[in-house]
Chain A
Amino acid sequence: MSAHADPTLWVRSRSKPSALAKLFDNKTFLIFICLAPALGLLLVFLTYPLGLGIYLSFTDTQLGKPGVWVGLENFQYLLTDRVFLNTVWNTIFYTAAATAAKFALGLWLALLLNENVPLKSLLRAIILLPWITPTVLSAIAFGWIYDPQFSIISYVFKHLGLISTNFDFLGTPWHARWSLVVANTWRGIPFVAISLLAGLQTISPSLYEAAMLDGASGWQRFRRVTVPLLMPILAVVLTFSVLFTFADFQLVYAITRGGPINSTHLMATLAFQRGIPGAALGEGAAIAVSMIPFLVIATLFSYFAVGNRKWQQGSDDDV
């Protein structure tokens, strides 16, 4: 390229930026354009429905029939409704039991994978399978495993001579509750394990060496090195896990539909049952809105746990 061609090219290309390109170089306009699709969709289909849901919970709206403002009537009714109170209690039990199991087992699995095991990435891929299959479909599989007559678990235990009659997995309230907790734990372990494994891998081995030189036992190394360094990621994973277990719907809907005698309903399934097939949108919305205080507590926890992390302070040197 000869020297004299460059300036002409340069001048020409600079001299006619189209009006559109100019508009896109205007930063305010660009910011607006970039944020519009995401914020627009979120406002119309998330923020507005959230507000609408709170409004609906104060009305007696039926499906397809506009309602009138009834104040706190829905909530007053729910507070006297044994099914609802049982559901709240059951949701808390389900969340607590499943989260505890998921974290205990998930942490264990993460620690196992963090040892130098062969075929680690293949193992990791296989372990995530329960988490990526559609929940409803694996829930149906659990429904079959829990079948009162043909449960494979009952078969195995019978053959080992441990029981003489089949397990009644879903027949009585407590059996059904624990069966659901087990199914939820099965699905949740991979997520917890793989996330915590990512956290474990960021802990430098030299810290363990230093602890070993100081004569720390295996338990002490776990308690004093692993746990504190894992805490930030543990808090985030815990928040998400609690949040999504509390708001769970699919598993219960697919396996028990809330039965036997409404004992396994979660707040989400009860809201669905009353709101969509039962057509009482106002009451369903009131049940859904009652979940918000619990979710807010979990979110605040997340904010303060995540809030200490670098990315929110706007620094970009933490890559």
Chain B
Amino acid sequence: MSELASPAPISTKDVPQVMAWDSRARRAVTIYVPLACFLLILLFPFYWMTITTFKPNGELLDYTHTNPFWINSPTLDNIRKLLFETEYPRWLTTTMGVAFGATAISLVASVLAAYAIQRLRFRGSKYVGLAIYLAYLVPPSILFIPLAEVVYSFGLFDSPWALVLTYPTFLIPFCTWLLIGYFKSIPYELEECALIDGASRLQILRRITLPLAVPGLISAGIFAFTLSWNEFIYALAFISSSENKTVPVAILTELVQGDVYQWGALMAGALLGSLPVAIFYSFFVEYYVSSLTGAVKE
């Protein structure tokens, strides 16, 4: 690709102007209008979530006197209720703890596994890599029933530790896969030099490979963190007491009482539950995109 791109620095930008039919108006209609529609549809639920959160209940259920797209008298009532009348802070800390714990375990295990598979090159390393790739294709929804038995027999039922230990099953395959690709991009010669200079394998990993792989580690870490934040089915199946629930599960199971849906409170929960992960994401967008696309391309 690089040798194709470099000798021809002319084109991409000039082409639209060269082509007579590609007028400005046509471009607006074929590109910007559909793009705007996509953005509108993709972002509308978030707008609606936010608007609902800050609406007083009366306005929420009255479309005849007020315009539903705007708030006449914004209120923090729903947020106050969520923060002070439910165990939301507790759910938040549990979720944080579980997400950090699972991410840490997965990163350590994945770095070591990826290093062994990609750098130590033993007989059959290809098959170990393939096995880990296959593990990624086993979805949690066929595992949660037997895993409930396993968790129960370890005495971890209803404990956040059950989640910290089971989340790596879908995090490790992904992170290992990502890191194998990343290690591959670090020249092996650097390690050979270090070996000749008398460094031990551990020193090489700590002083040479890991520092060079930091962007890959960040990508894997962010991805693992968001995946564990969003996980639902294990948290639903293995946790039963309210105070140990994670945010997504708690909002669905604790805020819906009977058939009456308190939409204001629910939307406040959805908004506040998405916010931490969205903020986290906004700091690392580039890493996130590169890990997503890198994992698919590898």
Contacts and interface: CB of A to CB of B under 8 A. Distances in A.
Interface of A: 13-14, 17, 21, 24-25, 27-28, 30-31, 33-35, 37-39, 41-42, 44-46, 48-50, 52-53, 56, 61, 63-64, 105, 108-109, 112-113, 115-117, 121, 123-130, 132-138, 140-145, 147, 149-150, 152, 155, 186, 189-191, 194-195, 197-199, 202, 204-206, 208-209, 212, 233, 236-237, 240, 243-244, 246-250, 253-254, 267-268, 271-272, 275-276, 281, 284-285, 288-289, 291-292, 295, 298-299, 302, 311-312, 314, 316, 319
Given A125-B282, A150-B63, A56 B139 contact: no
B296 to A, nearest CB: 5
A198 B41 CA distance: 22
B113 A52 contact: no
B43 A108 contact: no
Contact of A138 (B45, B69, B261): B45
Contacts of B24: none
Contacts of A272: 141, 144, 233, 236-237
Given A112-B38, A134-B229, A42 B274 contact: no
Q: Which applies to chain A's interface (DSSP): helix, strand, loop or mixed?
A: helix
B48 interface: yes
B144, B166, B274: residue with the most chain A Cβ atoms closer than 10 Å: B144
Contact of A38 (B109, B120, B145): B109
Interface residues of B, number: 112
Given A38-B110, A129-B46, A209 B11 contact: yes
Contacts, number: 325
A25 B52 contact: no
Given A108-B34, A137-B273, A56 B4 contact: no
A141 B144 contact: no
B193 interface: no
B248 interface: yes
B132 to A, nearest CB: 7
Nearest to B133: A306
A276 B105 CA distance: 28
Contacts of A281: 145, 148-149
A276 B143 CA distance: 13
B208 interface: no
A208 B165 CA distance: 50
